[in-house]
Amino acid sequence: MDKLHFYKLSGTGNDFIIINNLNNSRSFDYFKSIVRAVTNRNNGVGADGLIIINPDNETDFRWDFFNADGSVAEMCGNGARCVARVFSYITGKSEMIFKTLAGRIDAYVTGSRVKVRLSDPNDILDHIEINLDGTIIKGSFINTGVPHFVVPVDNIDDYNVREIGRKLRFHEYFAPKGTNVNFVKYLGDSAIKVRTYERGVEDETLACGTGACATALIFGRKGVVKDRADIITSGGERLSVYFSIQNDLIHNVYLEGNTRFICEGEVFLNEIF
């Protein structure tokens, strides 16, 4: 039997399968080949993504992050919080630095609550107008490790996130890589509700950490919130985003929220393929 030990965690509704590969026993190509099977919610363990903890000579560890469709993502905010919790569980460390394709991430673990510092955002574009089947969709673009299109809407609870989000995600304006899409509504008192269509999952997810940051930073640039925003996710939980803006430049972006261990076990790889 080819068995693989795993942890499954949830970060405010985003769920991930996390594998300890600190002994470097399996390759990147191997893990890429099993992503779809392991993350399948009917015949596998089921998750939004697969995260591999690899050894690194310069930091505490290096991750490989795979979306559920098998694609590689540069960054995932809630995934970063969950992998930090697992590394803390394995090693006993409460503070760590790890490598992603988006850069180094600082993480701080206090019980189930995890705070991560993300890389500074880039590629910020305001006043974008997308013609979608004759309807103009207005929003802003920002890269918080991965690309995000932030769209204010009034009827957020009834909004067709799956259909409109998919069309925007694949729209030619964002070609060739596409974008994540966040539909957002400011609720007052620095609280913003966000519903996200995630690239790679290809559906609405219960939460998106980089999307929460993207939303908070766009509203921060507009002066609606200052230094902090509380993001209410589709799953009803809250994420806190901290940041500073000086001379229109954004620095010190932190994402904080709860994480949950769901299960630990072994997946029988020869049975799910």
Catalytic residue set: 76, 208
Structure tokens at 159: 């909004």
Spatial separation of the C-alpha atoms in residues 272 and 73, rounded to whole Å: 24
Cβ atoms < 10 Å from Cβ of 192: 25
CA of residue 271 relative to chain centroid, distance:
29
Assigned token pair, 84: 């930090």
* C-alpha span between 92 and 55 (Å, rounded): 16
